[in-house]
Structure 1
Amino acid sequence: MLTASLNRQLSAQSLIQNLFDSEMRTALHPVFKMRVGLVMKKIFKPLLTGVALSMLSTSVFADYVKNQATEVNLPDGSSITVYITGDEYYKEVRSGDGRLLTLGDDGYVYYAQLNADGTDLEPSTLKFQKVQSASVNRMPIVNLPESVIKAKRAAAIAENQMDKPVANRAASVTADDHLLGDVVGATVIVDFSDDPAAFSKDQVEDLLNGQNYSEFGNQGSVNEYFKDISGNKLNYTNLVTHYYRAAHPKSVYNDPRSGVGRRDLVKEVIDFLMSSGVDTSRLSVDKDGRVHSLNIFYAGYPNTPWSKGLWPHRGWYNYEKDGVKFSNYQMTSMNRSLSIGVFAHENGHMLADWPDLYDYGHDSSGTGSYDLMSDSGGTSPMPPNPYFRWLAGWETLIELNPAVDAGAPVGLLSATAHSNTSYVYSNPDNTNEFFFLENIHRSGRYMRTPDEGLMIWHVDKFGNNSSQDGTPYNHYMVSVEQADGRKDLENHRNYGDQNDLFDEGVEYQFNDISRAAGVWWDRSVSNININTVSKPGETITFRSEGVGVVDMNNINMGETLYPVNAITSTPKYYRLELPDDTFSFTVETFGGAGNVDLYVRKGELPTATESDCISKGETNEESCELRTSIFDYVKTYYIMAVGSPVAANFNLKVTSKTGEIVEIYSGVPVENLNGEAGSEKYFKLTRPFGLPFYNWYTFMETTTETGEIKTQIKNNDIPSDDNFDCEYTSLSTEPCITSSSNDYLRLVGVSDYTGGTLSARQISTLRLFGSFDYDADVSANEEHLYNYWVAKGYEATIDLSAASGDAQLFVRKSLPVVGEEYDCVVSTNDGNTCPMVGGNHEILLRTNTDVSGLRIELIESEID
């Protein structure tokens, strides 16, 4: 029994861990606040309590948060939980299942809808409430167009930089001012009548200036952090005031309707600083005489989900008082526990003018958890990358490219962690582009690193970390060359993993044809050749050969190269980068004289025995057709043309099969579809990003006025005749139900057709983890949707009771309740229960009258 009990507990822990691992940095949903009534679920309670405390008290990113749970107080004194994703320039507020929310003029939160011209959100007629009504699922799911989001972000950035000195508006990382010696800043600590101070002035001073500091679990003070990352070249200290009580409650600064905002608080703070007794003559100033560093450190959390308010940020406010000039400032919240991470991140902006390295569009991970400017790190922030350290004057660089420095070292080299010495491989044809190489060891300031080994950074100082496409004109400023070649950071799969850095156990070579191809951004060969990387350690070794590995050419999709010549002893190699919308492609040779053999391979150089396609005939007429997925992380293919024995003056051509993918939305039919027999149309239906405790279902249906359509659906990939999750025709009597995140649709004309309509409706159901009581009365004719998972080897029963009123529960295994399609039904206080065994069960609660004291009872037990 002891062993069985222990295994059961470990199984429960594993389930919870899997739930959280599936959505990193996701705040805990309030469903866990429900009263747990299952005997089996008792083992969950301490686990969930611990998780709730840790996840709700820490914001992993500085300016950027993802699904951060925030309580919003309503005019009637109640509160709701919403989830924020974004930064100081643009934020989205969503319900737990991912639907956009907005603030109404009455101070309540409503489900959002697009305004008439689609350029902004406006409140719908449906309020957001603690218990979601199924009527929400009948609303169209809306998202602002990407162009609108970019415009809003640009406007917010422009507003934030309104007072930025004109001379400093150029790209800051192109400056060659170094950040050395003693720098003294001012920190004004602020509290509010509705959010008073929780920490003393002495505690804040220790956080900023302390030595051997460790309170609240911090790895040193802010002063110690900057000493460490600069190699003791920067001594940054702060003069801390006593508390300033703000002129208004925090709720006023955070209310977008109040007319009072953060700029008002900045002016108040400067006025207070000048009268606080702080010796402002000690403050460091820039070359224009402005105070270099003004920190506004306020009590509590930001407490605002909306775009305005006291969100942590760096900004400018030109103001002169008593001969002291101010401009540069940063604002940070103290939160529940003092930590150095966000403070260090914002000072990275303010002190060094380093830009953010996370993606403002939030559809990629930037530099992930490897860099201060993309991940603040809480109590243990990572150092910035060596390029930023070099710009600040803290890094010694050793050039590796003999085309730049004829004396560049070659052969076996070593790199020592924490040494502020890195290798650089510069582009001789572009003085703005480099590879930086450093040893990252999981110790010291790198305790939180996702991986250790030889880190290779790709830098283009005119890039942008919101541009993850990886094309010559649209790429990151600072990117991590991930050794496994998966480009997880660019594709937003994670924030770093154990296969990113180079070592003998993962991938020990970096060159023009390695998994992480070491080519320049314009696709030209760099001839970098790093290999034989040792295992991770305080010191690692690697070889730099100084010469490239192969003569490589580039070919673009749709291009024909002529003339091409190849002989047996000298194959011709070509690199092909697939566009994102490529479903399949064909490589062919034709014309000329002689005989050529054609080889194509994904991600690696083809050989005579290892290729994804080989075409060998008696002439130059060869062809390879390959199917790919738009979600395949490997977008690079290599082509080898070999003369057999000689091929002269032939053509090499690459063509692709692509199609326009039209975005469609739940609840918004696509009408007037017309096409010929065999014609194809492609669509994408995106599920809103919600928390991992929701099941999502999509109902698809097509109709036509004349003719017939075949519809194929595939989750997260383009469907084809041999690759689909669901297939039906416009003559089907029932719609197709899928359970997925992003669905791709292919419509094929079975015959000529006219008047086609494609309809999609997405519904979400919330996971139940045990019995719970409704904390409010429920009106008649409401429907609430839930799901419940019964573990293997267990069975459960579900019952419904109420103090007054009539309601029913409908239960169906695996699929949502639709019309009369359900497995079991129970009514309030009828004494019946519904049995559930093994797997997922979908539950519909329907109230027939007003109901009070409603309780869903779940009892689970092990099957004998």
Structure 2
Amino acid sequence: MRTSMTIAAAMVLSLAAVTAEAAIPYQGHTYEFRQPSGEKLKIRLDGNDYYAEQRTEDGSLIVYDNAKHGFCYAHVNATGDQLVSSGVLATNGKPRMSGIASAKSEPGLSTAAKARLAQERYQKMHGHTLDVAQRTTAAMMAPSAVANAPVSGQMRGLTVIIDFSDAPGTITKPQVESFLNDPAYTGFGNAQSVRGYFLAVSGNKLDYSNTVTRYYRAKRPKTYYADASLDSGTRSQELIMEALNWVKSSEGFDFSTLSRDSTGHIKGLNFFYAGEADSPWSKGLWPHMGWLGERFCSNGACTGSYQISNMGQQPAIGTFVHESGHLIMGWPDLYDYDGSSQGSVADFCVMGFGGVGFQSQHRPTKPVGFLRYLAGWETVTELNPAINRSAPTGRLSEDASGHALYRWSNPANAAEAFYVEAIHKSEQNLYQPDQGLAVFHIDPTGTNTDEWHPYIQMEHADGKRDPENNVNRGDGGDLYDGVATRAFNNNVPNALASHGTNSRWWNGYASGFELANISVPGKIVSFDVGAVPTVPAANVYNGTLANQAEAIHPNPWFEYKGGTLGAVLVGPAGTDFDLRIEKWSNAAWVKVAESAGETSQEKISYVAAAGYYRIIVASYSGAGNYKLTVTK
């Protein structure tokens, strides 16, 4: 999201990034809508449930016009923050040439306007964000040093299938049951069922299946629920409440058999209706995920979040899997809501675009390793010796088919880390854009709506950051694949001015994490972990301090095998500079030696045990240049 986005929108969308309420992504998605003339208008859709732009095949902007009961050509108003209907119904015929060189180049809304509209729609759909259940979900998704909410074992959801008097179901209940539950499933071009997907990506740790009802025949015709003049939450929720009451009263279903969260909310609540949406984006019966406004409870289970979507003629599991990631796992979206970028992970995760592509909709990609770790499906080996004294070094390997990851964590911020995994174009990752070694930078202060500091950043090996620059959703240069120039280290700064690929922490400090000699792509990828820098026998540091400022030498820390550490500080005359040595102990930096006289010259000689240390130069008063000499 560009810097013109309003702070209010940033706050709302940041919250959206870490709650279960999320949006289905669309890019180049096409659908048809029957215009008042009877013509089926072909519409191209780019966006998600909170904001999307709709265009005709020739690129003309269009909006649904309630007065015309159809799509009309649109233009951006003078302030650039609204699309205004022209009152002229759009057609598949001649391209519209309304004072612009080409409809294909017709600009849309400003980024700030898109953010504002996305914010407004989010608030309309999810005004319950302070609900206890959502606080629980947000807490689960907060990155941490350990997996804190494993999701494993058998989990049961409910899928209610629905048809209408004017749109009877053509896909049978057994076909829907197979689509959702058969471990070996290839119907409608899918490579697996929804259950099969979660068994595969969890290493058989999560068995998510759905109870499927027989068809519920809605009380009213489909045209009633698909009313294009109404928001998608209006008649959809009316239909959902009808169906739930029918399941309870007519079917006698025991809702206590469904998996629920700690507050009693049903985790996997799905509604699958016959045919196409027959509605414009965000209207009528348009597929979406939301929170059921009218509470329904039975057998100790209550409604909360739900998803509703159409079966179509060839149902693909990608969208169902993506939404199940929200509903049952609490995973966030990993793409940019306002469309100013493709997000950082793009096609490399099912919570980005990895489940909605032409091929990946039938074989969705894996969740990134960090999300799998949070779910309790992966083990992690800590590589940073400042945290793991037994951290492996030298030549290591990573198995793309295994369930073990490597991590390099920030000693000063337990929630920030780099995760390393191997990706091979086979099995679940068959349709990913690249293969090799992937590095993901995790930071809880980031948000997927800020492409330059996201919640999960992929460190693109080619340094181009094409997804962030809205060039593509990933390509063959994104993973480390044995090319000699593609080592991973601290060298390229990642300040916002350059947006580089590197191993620096977000505060700009070097992490000390280096990967080199990476093997060619395969199911197993080998690599060397670079040595952690140590202080030489004697080292001199020259620096400048502002009044009451501090500096770390060497930055961020060093490993010491034990012995006498010496530190001599010479500061400018007339100042009071102090000196101290800190050791990493019990997940915190602890002062072990200090020289804090009232002069600019200090000296420490400290007998140190083996461990991880840093030396701090601090100004008690005054400013100026200094010289620090460290010996061991």
Question: Do residues 395 (structure 1) and 378 (structure 2) align?
Answer: yes
Rounded to whole Å, the distance in 2 between the matches of 1:112 and 1:162 is 30
Q: Which string of whole-angstrom CA distances, capped at 9 and with x for unpartnered residues, describes residues 511-564 of structure 1?
A: 00157311111221111011111112222211112415999xxxxxxxxx979x
Rounded to whole Å, the distance in 1 between the matches of 2:472 and 2:96 is 33
Question: Do residues 527 (structure 1) and 512 (structure 2) align?
Answer: yes
In 2 relative to 1, CA 133–233 (structure 1 residues): closer, same or farther, beyond 3 Å? closer
**Please, what TM-score do these two structures have when normalized by structure 2?**
0.73
What amino acid maps onto 2:239 in structure 1? L
CA contact (8 A) 2:228 2:283 kept: yes
Rounded to whole Å, the distance in 2 between the matches of 1:99 and 1:193 is 36
CA contact (8 A) 1:465 1:476 kept: yes
Question: Percent identity of the aligned residues?
Answer: 35
SS, match of residue 439 in structure 1: strand
**Of 323, 333, 355, which aligns to 1:346?**
323
**Of 143, 149, 170, which aligns to 2:108?**
143
Q: Which residue of 1 aligns with 2:162?
A: 190
**Of 483, 497, 507, which aligns to 2:461?**
483
Rounded to whole Å, the distance in 2 between the matches of 1:369 and 1:145 is 25
Question: Do residues 223 (structure 1) and 223 (structure 2) align?
Answer: no
Rounded to whole Å, the distance in 2 between the matches of 1:424 and 1:126 is 57
Where do residues 307-322 of structure 1 align in structure 2 (5 Å cutoff)? 307-317=282-292, 319-322=295-298
Rounded to whole Å, the distance in 2 between the matches of 1:239 and 1:158 is 31
Question: Do residues 274 (structure 1) and 252 (structure 2) align?
Answer: no
Question: Do residues 174 (structure 1) and 174 (structure 2) align?
Answer: no
Q: Which residue of 1 aligns with 2:41?
A: 80
- Give the C-alpha shift of residue 357 in structure 1: 0.6
SS, match of residue 63 in structure 2: strand
Question: Do residues 285 (structure 1) and 260 (structure 2) align?
Answer: yes
In 2 relative to 1, CA 247–162 (structure 1 residues): closer, same or farther, beyond 3 Å? farther
CA contact (8 A) 1:102 1:109 kept: yes
What amino acid maps onto 1:169 in structure 2? Q
Q: Which residue of 1 aligns with 2:441?
A: 458
Question: Do residues 99 (structure 1) and 70 (structure 2) align?
Answer: no
Q: Which residue of 1 aligns with 2:10?
A: none
- Give the C-alpha shift of residue 346 in structure 1: 0.3
Q: Which string of whole-angstrom CA distances, capped at 9 and with x for unpartnered residues, describes residues 689-729 of structure 1?
A: xxxxxxxxxxxxxxxxxxxxxxxxxxxxxxxxxxxxxxxxx
SS, match of residue 431 in structure 1: strand
What amino acid maps onto 2:284 in structure 1? G
CA contact (8 A) 1:319 1:326 kept: yes
Segment drifting more, 231-240 vs 134-143: 134-143
Q: Which residue of 2 aligns with 1:689?
A: none
Rounded to whole Å, the distance in 1 between the matches of 2:334 and 2:51 is 16
Rounded to whole Å, the distance in 2 between the matches of 1:115 and 1:378 is 36
Rounded to whole Å, the distance in 1 between the matches of 2:351 and 2:175 is 25
SS, match of residue 96 in structure 1: coil
- Give the C-alpha shift of residue 216 in structure 1: 2.0
CA contact (8 A) 1:187 1:240 kept: yes
CA contact (8 A) 1:62 1:312 kept: no
- Give the C-alpha shift of residue 410 in structure 1: 0.8
CA contact (8 A) 2:162 2:273 kept: yes
In 2 relative to 1, CA 414–138 (structure 1 residues): closer, same or farther, beyond 3 Å? closer
Q: Which residue of 2 aligns with 1:295?
A: 270
CA contact (8 A) 1:531 1:544 kept: yes
SS, match of residue 111 in structure 1: strand
What amino acid maps onto 1:519 in structure 2? R
What amino acid maps onto 1:528 in structure 2? F
Rounded to whole Å, the distance in 1 between the matches of 2:368 and 2:510 is 24
CA contact (8 A) 1:528 1:548 kept: no
Where do residues 418-437 of structure 1 align in structure 2 (5 Å cutoff)? 418-437=401-420
**Of 515, 519, 525, which aligns to 1:540?**
525
Q: Which string of whole-angstrom CA distances, capped at 9 and with x for unpartnered residues, describes residues 576-611 of structure 1?
A: xxxxxxxxxxxxxxxxxxxxxxxxxxxxxxxxxxxx
Rounded to whole Å, the distance in 1 between the matches of 2:97 and 2:348 is 43
Segment drifting more, 513-522 vs 535-544: 513-522
CA contact (8 A) 1:163 1:327 kept: no
Q: Which residue of 2 aligns with 1:109?
A: 71
Question: Do residues 263 (structure 1) and 237 (structure 2) align?
Answer: yes
What amino acid maps onto 2:272 in structure 1? F
Bigger fraction of residues in strand:
1
In 2 relative to 1, CA 382–512 (structure 1 residues): closer, same or farther, beyond 3 Å? same
Q: Which string of whole-angstrom CA distances, capped at 9 and with x for unpartnered residues, describes residues 211-265 of structure 1?
A: 3212222222111211111121111111100112233444433334257532222
Q: Which residue of 2 aligns with 1:68?
A: 29
Where do residues 624-635 of structure 1 align in structure 2 (5 Å cutoff)? none
CA RMSD of aligned residues (A): 3.0
**Please, what TM-score do these two structures have when normalized by structure 1?**
0.54
Q: How many residues align?
A: 495
SS, match of residue 524 in structure 1: coil
Question: Do residues 122 (structure 1) and 84 (structure 2) align?
Answer: yes
Rounded to whole Å, the distance in 2 between the matches of 1:148 and 1:254 is 27
Rounded to whole Å, the distance in 2 between the matches of 1:270 and 1:543 is 56
Rounded to whole Å, the distance in 2 between the matches of 1:274 and 1:153 is 36
In 2 relative to 1, CA 188–506 (structure 1 residues): closer, same or farther, beyond 3 Å? farther
Question: Do residues 513 (structure 1) and 491 (structure 2) align?
Answer: yes
Q: Which runs of 5+ in 1 are unaligned?
A: 1-60, 552-560, 564-571, 574-647, 650-864
CA contact (8 A) 1:529 1:548 kept: no
- Give the C-alpha shift of residue 148 in structure 1: 2.6
- Give the C-alpha shift of residue 193 in structure 1: 3.5
What amino acid maps onto 2:161 in structure 1? I
In 2 relative to 1, CA 517–164 (structure 1 residues): closer, same or farther, beyond 3 Å? closer
Rounded to whole Å, the distance in 1 between the matches of 2:253 and 2:129 is 25
* Higher-RCO chain (CA-CA 8 Å, sequence separation at least 6): 2
Rounded to whole Å, the distance in 1 between the matches of 2:394 and 2:182 is 44
What amino acid maps onto 2:381 in structure 1? I
> Which structure has the bigger radius of gyration?
1
Where do residues 456-855 of structure 1 align in structure 2 (5 Å cutoff)? 456-468=439-451, 470=452, 475-505=453-483, 507-513=485-491, 516-548=501-533
**Of 382, 399, 405, which aligns to 1:416?**
399
CA contact (8 A) 2:23 2:50 kept: no
